[in-house]
Structure 1
Amino acid sequence: MAIILCMPTDVSPALSGQPPALPARPALSRPNHASRWLAMLLALGCGLLGLGLASHYPLLPSLAVAAYLAVLAASFRWWQAAPLLLIGLVPVLGLATWTGWFIFEELDLLVMAAAAGGYAAYALGRVDSKAQAWRRPLAPSALAKLLLLLFAASVLLSVWRGIQDAGGLEFGWWQGYLESLNGPRQAKGLVYALLLLPLWQRAAASRPDRIERGMLFAMCLALAGIALAALWERVAFPGLLNFSSDYRSTAMFWEMQVGGAMLDGALLLCLPFALAALMRQRSPVLLGLLLALVLMASYAALTTFSRGVYLALPVTLATLLFLSYRQHHARSTSLAEQPQHLETALRALPLLALLGLFGFSAAQIFAVAGYRGLLALSGTALLLLFAPRQLLVEGVGARALVLSMAALLGTLAAGLSWSVANWIPKSAYVIYGLSFALGALLMWRPPSRMEATLRTMLVSTVWFWSLGCVAVVAGNWGGELALRATLWPLALWALAWVWLLGAAPQAADRLLALHWRVRAILAGVLLVSGAIVSTLEGGAYLGERMATGVQDLGARVDHWRSSYRLLQSDEERWLGRGSGRYMATRFYSGPVDERVGDFRLGDEAGQPFLRLSGGRHLLDYGGMLRVTQRIAVPSGPLTLQARVRAGEAAGLFAEVAEKHLLYQEGRSHKALHVKGKPGEWQTVQLKLDALPRGAGGDWWAPRLITFAIAETVAGKELDVGELQLIDASGRNLLANGDFSAGLARWYFTSDRHHLPWHAKSLPLHLQFEQGWVGLWIWAALVAAALWRVSLGRARAHALAPAVAASLVGFLMVGLFDSLLDAPRISFMFYSVLLLGLCLRALPPGVVQDSRQ
């Protein structure tokens, strides 16, 4: 926080009619005042700290050091872009399932490199130190600074209390939830956001448009990483269209190894920015890319099967649209230019009716024709949506004749197509593809030299043929019963086409004259609607989730009550138990029969070993605490050789499975009884069957292979001194099997038993760690940010609707999950929150001048 207040705050002259030119980039120079010396100290501190972390990176430390120095140099050269670009990389640079790191992670290296490079650029004069106040689009108010200081003090107090609760500060590379470093770990999201804030402010002051374009690009990049990771996960494991399996996407959020909603929170943070970029995009290529991104993100959101996401998405979208519309309305320079609300609503009614018709008919057709029928209907609906204005024909009689002839010819073509489809197997899809391709060509380039009525009849005939081919596809998939079931929904679409081209020219012209950008966005909405229908109708898992909603909410409320009761004194309730102490408090003070398993690194006469402890709860297949490692695809049967020690009778579970994070696909597993022999090491051996044929998946959608061990006896301990996993070719597939490198390459999961690890409520999590005082300050910060971007000084800024919608969506998901106990998500949230607290709208001339 000190660097925020130490930066110069020169008051600029009044804004003139012609903004002054931007100064040339200053030459490098020695620090010459206090703020530049402070920046140099920060640069040195961050640079050395990051270098030390990189040198201890579990995978190829020399390469990690080289990459770290390269990022630092790039951050020095492009100091204006690096801090924002960092946000876009955060969701995909989480490699704990390969490295074994928990307290430290790739986020630390990225932030240290960006901060070291950026502050070095400021200290050495690459950053203009006299940016005028009126050129600063990021300028927190006095109230925002006060709230930030109070909240930072609350977080520091919480970290100190957490360390004291853990028995004092003790450093260790391989600490976990129970040790003292977990407190600083959970606080670093806010610390990193505050550390980078002055660099964001300087970059925005030198180029006021940079904060808008940079933030949109960063959040779209982050969303692309999330969506692509979720898409790969679904393709590789349960299948792209498998909505019946109880497989919930996790993308690259390894923090969900003990449950949580990190993917949900990240999606709700990023999606509003992608939608904001989509609504203002004018380039056809970029618009297409953004549409594809939003569709992939919508699929990722649907496959979370999270009721919190399903509840938050409509509210987020409504917030974004309302604030965007209000901005557009406020920009009108005269009453004549202001949109008439009644006319706007009337114009929107046919579009809403069209989307409603699609949702209704899609549900009907999907029930009898599956994905093939739904895709065919979607294609034909898109043809209608992109119908060109040249199809309008003057005269009621001419329109009636043209449409009647087109309907007749299209129906005859569809009947012929049905006959061919019955004669030639699988030809129904080829015929539909031909009708769609011809229709798309005619919609894109209708024959300009053809007489108007003939042109309209030709295009309408092809469209009616395409509509009839939807029934052909349905009948080919589901037989004559499916064919008959689709006829009446398709008849409604035929009436929609007749209304579109046969209504009064003024009414039809409102739709056919829509800008291509509006039609493209509507096409995206239509495709998302189809995805929603397929998710709801295509599998039983979502129905089960919805059916148990009330029961699960009751269990969640009971969990909240038991979590609050863990705070045993008024001091703890007002000031909190301490940062990072929720799981440890529940482990030591919660109900004994709910205590989870544990693992930790031990040492005996210089020989490291791993101690596994069985949980006290039901240790079924999904309830065991697994210690795992990524391995190569094994060849044939496997042999596990282990050196173990048990004071009492214990059990060793071993498993090799195709697994991304929480859900196993093809697997081979066995359990072994270990006799109790105090102080004596035993050598045991387990034979594991070969994985199913095709294990590892395809090169374009690989299925990762994971080895896991666990203690199977509740409340017992098992020491593991050395492990070797030998496949049929004689290879040892395990790295660091003797734990000589600590827990490098090893991580852990609790696949199904999640409640003890989280408070499962963002407000409760904050109140547990920071008390009522910290929660109220945090709530005031959030309220101040939402006020600023919706009603305050930033309401006219282009980013304001996206920031408000992002915060609203994240908070709604946070009603049912902790979220901020994962540093990467915490960093992203506090970055958006600080943007909301600091953002302000500038005069148009300033932004225009910066773009020249």
Structure 2
Amino acid sequence: MSSLAANRYSFLSKGFSLLAVFAAGYLISIYPDIGWFKFVICAIYAGLLLFEPKLGFFFLTAFIPVLDFGVWTGNILFSEYDVLFLLTLAVLFWKQNNIFSVKYKGDTLFYALLIWYVLCGFIGFFDYFSEHFSDDIYQSPLNGIRVGKGFISAWLAWYVTRASLLENYRLTLLMLGAGILCGLLLLALGVLWERHVFSSILLSGNIYEFFETLLDFSSTYRITGFFSGMHVGGTALDGYLVCVLPLVFYIVTRQKKQSYFLLSILVFALGLYSLIVTFTRMTIAGFAISFVISGILLYRDNKRLVVKSGLRMFDVYYVFLFVAVIFILTVIKSQAGYQALLFGIMVFFASIVVIHKVKPDIVFVGFLLIMLFSLGVYGVNDSITESQWHQDVDSLNALVIAVTSVVVLMFLGVASGVIFKIKGIKLKDIGIPALVGGGFLIIIVGMGSTRMTERMQGVSSDLQTRSRHWADVIDSAYSDSFWRPFWGFGMGSMPKLYYRSHLDDMPLPNYRWVENDGKTLLEIGKGGYPYFQKITLKPDTVYNLLAVVKFEDEGGILGVDICHKHILFSDQWQPDCVKKDFRLKLGGWQTLQWSFNSGNLGRRGWLDWPPTLQIHNYGSGIMSVDTIEITDSSGVQILKNSDFDNRLNHWFWISDFEHLPWHSKQLFLQVWLEQGWIGLLLFILLIGFGFRHQWKLLDSGESIPIAIVPSMIAMIGLGLTDEYIDEPQTTLMTFAVFFAALQWPLNNVREKALA
């Protein structure tokens, strides 16, 4: 490359870097509260990256699923992650010298996708529908920016990543892997908090309450993580999980140090737990299929290990062992519960260890096996007799089930230990096969849970609902223009099209911020959709609520409730709520007052969902809210932006039970709707060429397809009945993987780049 071209590319790189800094600075300046401290935090972060730019890849992947505080700040259009992303991108573009110097295979498609995404973003911004101005992002042109930024972010993220892989492959891969692990861990910890697992053990001190909460697979509550976009439902969390879990499994298989191996297994197990408690059928099924592909690709790649150690995963014995143990453990769980399952696993693996590790002393080995047998029988029998689900099993039958299951598992464990010892197989060599078996066991047990059994019984009716909704979405996209289906309706167009078609036949959320007669107001449309704010309350404390509202039509009702809530309610209403309905007079401003006792609200502090004030318009017209305040006995104001002077900062709306208006529920349909036939063709080409390139990598001896191919398969599987590319951070992760599939550098390309 000539010096003139190099200078031109360097100028473009640094110019883009400065543009990203200015964009980040603007977002920081309009971020609610915190003051100058937010600039200090961002400056420290930028300085850290300037010291070691490769850390940016760690932070980019680690904070994707958790750096979103929209339900607290009221921001739907941008999140805290956007600031981190822009600052990271600014440093990487500034520091990377070879970012423009290498030509990549697939660049034509790569750039074509960028051009088409940008074009569809403009279409989504300028071509929108709303009967009147609304601050609802989904009805505004800004939704084109909100959705489109996910695609653009993925493109830019891969753009700097591919250059870094050529510059320092090992360090970049290390940072990406560590970030993905950390991201899934943070998400899983958030899921445990969301399901009250931490509060159950830290506050109750009762180990049984902890396990009861952890293993509650009958609840109707569906986790959301920290994806604020799930205030209208959807599968943003599911899309992230099916995308990263195959990547994490690959990371587990690459660990050589035992401590790192065990830590990554823990993260993978927590990720599987999070997957199960989504209670989404295609999420679990899609990952299960991808997990099978992971095992096949791992076996193909790992022949050296499995052959030299004598461990062939697909030999008849090992296939039989795998299937038999999984089947027996599943039966034990269904007959005796989770305690029995844990004891069964212990008996099987402990039997292998006893035979494999203990010196060949028949008496001592026999003594250990008898003790193990007794402990196993006690654990399984106790689980049956004490379980609330198996009260109809008498003591004799319970003992027969316990003895039979333990004998079979112990026999398989002893036989395995003998074979492993004869063949010289070390216990560490069975770590990955055991992980695969454990993963399938978790999936099978999760699919057999009470909640999933209920969900599976509704497959037929849900498919009919999906089919009707798909037809409805297609009808909503009707246009007189012959060419419109070719270029689509633009990014973020799904909700506006649905609103346009259904404003007359169903109540949909509608609100706006207005200035009227010197007052700043929130106007809320009919439908009862709650508008809320997260607040801090002390338990058993008297608070006073004051609201100044106006209703222009008869039958106006302002509903107020304060409940523990994260993002969505379950099918059943939450306990510990305080509620009040105010019937309003026709016309004119009215001052409403209410004194209430918080009761249990806020009793568990940060370990529980935060108390959440919700206001509803239960009337048939528009309700105007001038002020709403909550004060304690000393007059201290609890609410932020209570008079709406700072527009809608800290206020957020939600749809607990109605989710179809915002989601097409099919990945390819969503792409067609927003990007037309041209965009759909480009998307299919991206997937097809991505798979083809990964096959080439496999043939060349690369192992990265073990991560990327199953991830793509899981995402496509979930996309058959859901879509998740309307949530920017999930879209970023999704398309970053697709782009990596298309352009992951071959080993010889990396060597040439370093030459």
Q: Is the pair's TM-score, using the shorter chain for normalization, greater than 0.5?
A: yes
Match of 1:706 in 2: 612
Residues in 1 aligned to 2:456 and 2:314: alpha-carbon distance in whole angstroms: 39
* Aligned residues of 2:92 and 2:160 also touching (Cα < 8 A): yes
CA offset digits 1:68-105 (Å, max 9, x no partner): 22222222222223135312211110110111111121
Change (3 A) 1:62 1:823: same
Once residues 690 and 377 of structure 2 are traced to their aligned partners in structure 1, the CA distance between those partners, rounded to angstroms, is 53
Aligned length: 728
Range with greater deviation from structure 2 (381-390 or 310-319): 381-390
Q: Is the alpha carbon distance of 1:188 and 1:128 closer, same or farther for their aligned partners in structure 2, counting shifts above 3 Å?
A: closer
Give the residue type in structure 1 aligned to 2:608. P
Cα pair distance change 1:779/1:795, threshold 3 Å: farther
The amino acid that maps onto 2:505 is D
Q: Which amino acid counterpart does residue 579 of structure 1 have in structure 2? A: M
Q: Distance in 2 between matches of 1:311 and 1:800?
A: 21
Structure 2 unmatched ranges of 5 or more: 200-211
Percent identical pairs in the alignment equals: 21
1:191 positional shift: 1.2
Per the alignment, in what secondary structure is the counterpart of residue 770 of structure 1?
A: helix
Deviation at 1:502, TM superposition (A): 6.7
Answering whether residue 754 of structure 2 is matched by residue 790 of structure 1, we say no
Secondary structure of 2:567's partner?
Answer: coil
CA contact (8 A) 1:594 1:756 kept: no
TM-superposed CA distance for 1:782, in Å, is 1.4
Q: Could you tell me which of 327, 332, 338 is aligned with 1:356? A: 327
Q: Distance in 2 between matches of 1:476 and 1:640?
A: 51
- Counterpart of 2:108 (choices 132, 146, 150) is 146
TM-score (norm 1): 0.79
One of 498, 502, 511 as aligned partner of 1:586:
498
Matches within 5 A, 1:366-515: 366=337, 371-390=338-357, 446=358, 452-474=361-383, 477=386, 481-482=394-395, 484-498=397-411, 501=414, 507=419, 509=421, 513-515=424-426
Q: Structure 2 matches for 1:309-328, cutoff 5 A?
A: 309-328=283-302
Q: Verify: 1:628 aligned to 2:536, yes or no.
A: no
After TM superposition, give the deviation of residue 724 of structure 1 in Å.
0.6
1:817 to 722, 725, 740: 722
Q: CA offsets per residue over residues 163-192 of structure 1, 9 Å max, x none?
A: 222379x999x6611111110111111212
1:831 maps to amino acid: A
Contact 1:362 1:530 survives alignment (8 Å)? no
Counterpart residue type for residue 515 of structure 2: D
Residues in 2 aligned to 1:495 and 1:9: alpha-carbon distance in whole angstroms: 72
- Residue 548 of structure 1 corresponds to 458
- Distance in 2 (alpha carbons) for counterparts of 1:456 and 1:272: 39
Please give the alpha-carbon distance, in whole angstroms, between the structure 1 residues aligned to 2:703 and 2:310. Answer: 19
Structure-2 separation of matches of 1:637 and 1:830: 50
Instruction: Using the TM superposition, give the Cα deviation of residue 486 of structure 1 relative to its aligned residue in structure 2, in angstroms.
Output: 4.5
What CA distance in whole angstroms lies between the structure 1 residues aligned with 2:121 and 2:679? Answer: 12
1:76 to 50, 75, 94: 50
SS of residue matched to 1:625: coil
Deviation at 1:346, TM superposition (A): 3.4
Q: Which amino acid aligns with 2:614?
A: A
| Equivalent-residue separation in structure 1 for 2:363 and 2:750 (angstroms) | 52
Query: Which residue does the alignment assign to 1:16?
Result: none
CA 1:772–1:845: 2 relative to 1, 3 Å: closer
Q: Residues 723-756 of structure 1, C-alpha deviation per residue, up to 9 Å, x if partnerless?
A: 1123456443211100111111111110001111
2:347, 2:406 within 8 Å by CA — same for their partners in 1? Answer: no
> Which residue of 567, 574, 584 maps to 1:661?
567
Rounded to whole Å, the distance in 1 between the matches of 2:441 and 2:246 is 20
Q: Deviations over 1:132-165 (max 9, x none)?
A: x6xxxxx631xx2121222222222212222222
How big is the shift at 1:529?
5.8
Amino acid at match of 1:183: G
Q: How does 1:101-112 map to 2 (within 5 A)?
A: 101-112=75-86
Give the C-alpha shift of residue 613 in structure 1. 0.2
2:14 pairs with one of 32, 40, 55: 40
Residue by residue over 1:312-351, the C-alpha shift from the partner in whole angstroms, topping out at 9 and shown as x without a partner, is: 121110121222222234x799xx9798979734334223
The partner residue of 2:630 within 700, 718, 725 is 725
659-668 vs 824-833, greater mean Cα deviation: 659-668
- CA gap of 1:634–1:599, structure 2 versus 1, over 3 A, is farther
Secondary structure at the counterpart of residue 365 of structure 2: helix
- Helix, strand or coil at the partner of 1:190: helix
- Is 1:378–1:527's contact at 8 Å kept on the other side of the alignment? no
Alignment correspondent of 1:801: 706
Counterpart mapping for 1:663-702 below 5 A: 663=569, 664-677=574-587, 680-688=588-596, 690-691=598-599, 693=600, 695-696=601-602, 698=604, 701-702=607-608
Secondary structure in 2 aligned to 1:750?
A: coil
Q: Which position in structure 2 is the counterpart of 1:232?
A: 193
2:155 maps to what in 1?
194
Cα-to-partner distance string for 1:612-667 (whole Å, 9 max, x where unaligned): 0013xxxxxxxx32111110024434432111112112221111000011114421
SS in 2 for 1:247: coil
Q: 1:842 & 1:668 partners in 2: Cα distance?
A: 63
- Alpha-carbon distance, 1:305 to partner: 0.5
Match for residue 210 of structure 1 among 171, 188, 213:
171
- More deviation in 702-711 or 70-79? 70-79
TM-superposed CA distance for 1:468, in Å, is 2.6
The structure with more radius of gyration: 1
Mapping 1:210-289, distance limit 5 Å? 210-235=171-196, 239-289=213-263
What TM-score does the superposition give when structure 2 sets the normalisation length?
Answer: 0.89
| SS of match in other structure, 2:654 | strand
Q: Distance in 2 between matches of 1:497 and 1:339?
A: 23
- Shift, 1:41, TM fit: 0.6
Q: Between 563-572 and 727-736, report the one with greater CA deviation.
A: 727-736
Give the 3 Å change call, closer, same or farther, for CA 842–510 of structure 1 in structure 2: farther
Report the CA distance between 1:217 and its aligned residue: 1.8
Displacement of 1:684 in angstroms is 1.7
Distance (whole Å) between structure 1 residues aligned to residue 432 and residue 691 of structure 2: 27
Structure 2 distance, partners of 1:62, 1:47, is 17
Residue deviations 1:177-234, cap 9 Å, x none?
1111110111111212222333213321221223432332222122112211111111
Q: Distance in 2 between matches of 1:493 and 1:645?
A: 70
What is the rounded CA distance, in whole Å, between the counterparts of 1:836 and 1:481 in structure 2?
56
CA distance in 2, matches of 1:465, 1:671: 61
Measured in 1, the distance between the counterparts of 2:546 and 2:486 equals 52
Per mean C-alpha deviation after superposition, the further-off stretch among 726-735 and 354-363 is 726-735
The structure 2 residue matched to 1:755, chosen from 635, 660, 685, is 660
Equivalent position of 2:205 in the other structure: none
| Matches of 1:500 and 1:296, distance apart in 2 | 26
Q: In the TM superposition, what whole-angstrom CA distance separates every residue of 1:797-818 from its partner, at most 9, and x where no partner exists?
A: 2221211111111121122222
Q: Which residues in structure 2 correspond to 1:61-140 (within 5 Å)? A: 61-122=35-96, 127=97, 140=104
Within 2, Cα distance between the matches of 1:342 and 1:161? 52
Instruction: Return closer, same or farther for 1:113/1:454 CA change in 2, 3 Å cut-off.
Output: same
Q: Match of 2:292, as an amino acid?
A: A
The answer to whether the 8 Å contact 2:559/2:615 transfers is yes
Aligned equivalents of 2:54, 2:546: Cα separation in 1: 54
3-state SS of paired residue (1:565): helix
Following superposition, the deviation at residue 700 of structure 1 comes to 7.2
Aligned-CA RMSD value = 3.3
Structure 2 equivalent of residue 346 of structure 1: 317
Question: Could you list the per-position Cα deviations for residues 569-614 of structure 1 after superposition, in whole angstroms to 9, with x for gaps in the alignment?
Answer: 2332221112112111211233622241211111124421100001
Instruction: Provide the secondary structure at the position in 1 that maps to 2:302.
Output: helix
Which secondary structure does the structure 1 equivalent of 2:31 belong to? coil
